[in-house]
Structure 1
Amino acid sequence: MRILLFLMTNLAILVVAGIVLNILGVNHYLSGSGLDLTSLLIFCAVFGFVGSFISLFLSKTMAKFGAKAEVIKQPRNHKEQWLLTTVEELSLQAGIRMPEVAVFPSHEANAFATGWNKNDALVAVSSGMLDRFPPDEIRAVLAHEIGHVANGDMVTLSLIQGVVNTFVMFFARIAAYAVDSFLRRNDDSNEGSVGWGFYIATFIFEMIFGILASMIVMWFSRYREYRADEAGARLAGKGAMIAALARIQSEHEISHMPESMVAFGIRKGRNPTLGELFSSHPPINDRIAALQKL
């Protein structure tokens, strides 16, 4: 099901991007005189933003399938009833429409929120957290996730990702065209065209620029965690928010959430391989210290 959803998402991106490009009249960014930078920028922007926003619009569906999250429609026990009541109260405090509430199977203590706007969101908590954490700390974690929704973090992150995607594609193709032109500088028979070097160089430059650009996205992701922690402290109490983060820090399970949802969890699934620059979450010690200063 995950593979099928992935394929369908990418097919939707290609179809929608193709339709938009045809409407805009942008079919080719390579001409006999070289790169048409205006057409190239439009081409990159369409693919960059279409991919980002289709993922945003499908985020709830992808989260439900990917994390195997079960939405609570009719509470089956007092825990689920308490969960619905708590989310409803926190949503009212935050001034947003109550999101869907779900539980996903995982021993790890984690929770996430997603959705294409703050009045059509999903908040999910792991079964392990629901079983092990005291109610005041679960409430704080839910308040943190409600804070993400109320702050519009999912939409803002998609906008930033769209901008990053656009310029990664744009500058990668400019650099690749320069490399290809240099390699073919003595070949007059194919003036105005590109060779395989262009496509190979495009792939390489997209990888390099994509890695560098991801630091920008991760910086914003870390920033929004501090804001969500502050919202959690405001809605559920600073002491409860600090206690919840400290308890999460004391647990060291490996994440069982899909990679696409890790950035939306209250904690990251694994340590970053190249340091904090590529981490979607700041260290919990830093988050606790920031809360203590409020």
Structure 2
Amino acid sequence: MMRIGLFLLTNLAVVIVASIVMTVLFKFFGIGGVHSAGGLNYVGLAIMCFVYGMIGSAISLFLSKWMAKKSTGTVVIENPTNGTEQWLIDTVAKQAKAVGIGMPEVGIFDNPEPNAFATGWNKNNALVAVSTGLLHTMTAEEVEAVLAHEIGHVANGDMVTLALIQGVVNAFVMFFARIIGNFVDRAIFKNDSDSPGIAYFVTSIVMDILLGMLASAIVMWFSRLREYRADEMGARLAGRDHMIAALNALRPAAQRPDHMPEAMKAFAISSGQSQGFSIANLFRSHPTLDDRIASLQKLPAN
């Protein structure tokens, strides 16, 4: 229920904010509605798609820390109560200082599988969290490497970049889906009225789905690319061999069902991905563990 509530809350915020922004823009610039007597108003359509695409991603980004805490049950370490918590704080502080970012919040979430994630709209106001399963199954050196990987995501600004790419992709999908919908409505179903017909709406929805699937491959390509970069940062801060050992320690979990919330999988160090090439891997947020380890092995040992 918590995940459904967060999803509905985010989408409601997107609709409200986007509607307000579009109303202001349309009135300020004197732009008519999306539909006119001659068909689509392409300027109005472009503005609508851009606003919905970018605002949706922006709201998700600004709410990312709060949503991550709620959806995973992450408890932020305010005052360390044991040696493990103190070690986590000290390790993250050392790594954050090494890459020149502000100290992130550090948290622990209850999950039997070894996993971790980083999120936040600002590299100086981020959250790094690890699962109880990771703390129970990995060595200190491996946990340090995982933390360094997550610090790499923060230092590289991956959360912001991914949100921007997702927003632009969403805008293009909406724009072209409605152009195709208008063509089908006008040219094939011969609708010459001032208002769009049912064919416009049905076609637009179908194309939203089809183009969205293709566009997601672009977003996931970037997501996989950023994992390689974060692995490199993990190797630089904690040692190449320790980073490789940490990835190897994730192998058993990669073959089991993923317990991470769907919205957090792209930010986790492990997403339960299968090994080897398949079409499905084009739509996965993470490269295979074999590919990630092979990439690290090309780096000099440190």
1:268, distance to aligned residue in structure 2 (A)? 1.1
Partner of 2:119: helix, strand, or coil?
A: strand
Partner of 1:124: helix, strand, or coil?
A: strand
1:183, distance to aligned residue in structure 2 (A)? 3.6
2:113 to 104, 108, 115: 108
**TM-score, length-normalised on structure 1?**
0.96
1:270, distance to aligned residue in structure 2 (A)? 4.5
Matching residue of 1:84: 89
Quick check: 1:230 aligned with 2:232? yes
1:197, distance to aligned residue in structure 2 (A)? 1.1
**TM-score, length-normalised on structure 2?**
0.93
1:162 to 150, 164, 167: 167
Task: Determine the C-alpha separation between the residues in 2 that align with 1:289 and 1:270.
Answer: 16
1:93, distance to aligned residue in structure 2 (A)? 0.7
Matching residue of 2:196: 194
Quick check: 230-239 or 176-185, which moved more? 176-185
Partner of 2:106: helix, strand, or coil?
A: strand
Task: Kindly provide the amino acid, as one letter, of the partner of residue 137 in structure 2.
Answer: R
Partner of 1:120: helix, strand, or coil?
A: coil
User: Residues 288 and 270 from structure 1, CA distance in 2 versus in 1: closer, same or farther, beyond 3 angstroms?
Assistant: closer
2:249 to 226, 247, 250: 247
User: Residues 27 and 10 from structure 1, CA distance in 2 versus in 1: closer, same or farther, beyond 3 angstroms?
Assistant: farther
1:90, distance to aligned residue in structure 2 (A)? 0.7
Task: Determine the C-alpha separation between the residues in 2 that align with 1:33 and 1:27.
Answer: 12
Task: Determine the C-alpha separation between the residues in 1 that align with 2:205 and 2:138.
Answer: 46
Task: Determine the C-alpha separation between the residues in 1 that align with 2:137 and 2:169.
Answer: 39
Q: How many residues align?
A: 291
Matching residue of 1:130: 135
Task: Determine the C-alpha separation between the residues in 1 that align with 2:131 and 2:267.
Answer: 13
Task: Determine the C-alpha separation between the residues in 2 that align with 1:255 and 1:77.
Answer: 29
1:192, distance to aligned residue in structure 2 (A)? 2.9
Task: Determine the C-alpha separation between the residues in 1 that align with 2:251 and 2:7.
Answer: 32
Task: Determine the C-alpha separation between the residues in 2 that align with 1:17 and 1:274.
Answer: 35
> Structure 2 regions of 5+ residues with no counterpart?
none
Matching residue of 2:22: 21
Partner of 2:113: helix, strand, or coil?
A: coil
Partner of 1:102: helix, strand, or coil?
A: strand
Deviations 1:160-198 (A, max 9, x none): 00100000000000001111113432x5xx523211111
Preserved CA contact (<8 Å) 2:52 2:171: yes
1:266 to 265, 269, 284: 269
Q: Please list, as runs of the form range in 1=range in 2, the aligned pairs for 1:196-215 lying within 5 A after superposition.
A: 196-215=198-217
Task: Determine the C-alpha separation between the residues in 2 that align with 1:184 and 1:136.
Answer: 65
Partner of 1:263: helix, strand, or coil?
A: helix
1:27, distance to aligned residue in structure 2 (A)? 6.0
Task: Determine the C-alpha separation between the residues in 2 that align with 1:179 and 1:255.
Answer: 41
RMSD: 1.4
Task: Determine the C-alpha separation between the residues in 1 that align with 2:81 and 2:270.
Answer: 28
Matching residue of 1:68: 73
Preserved CA contact (<8 Å) 2:142 2:246: yes
Task: Kindly provide the amino acid, as one letter, of the partner of residue 6 in structure 1.
Answer: F
Deviations 1:44-98 (A, max 9, x none): 0000000001000000011001011111111121111111111111111111011
> Structure 1 regions of 5+ residues with no counterpart?
none
Task: Determine the C-alpha separation between the residues in 2 that align with 1:8 and 1:169.
Answer: 21
Task: Determine the C-alpha separation between the residues in 1 that align with 2:273 and 2:247.
Answer: 16
Preserved CA contact (<8 Å) 1:21 1:27: no
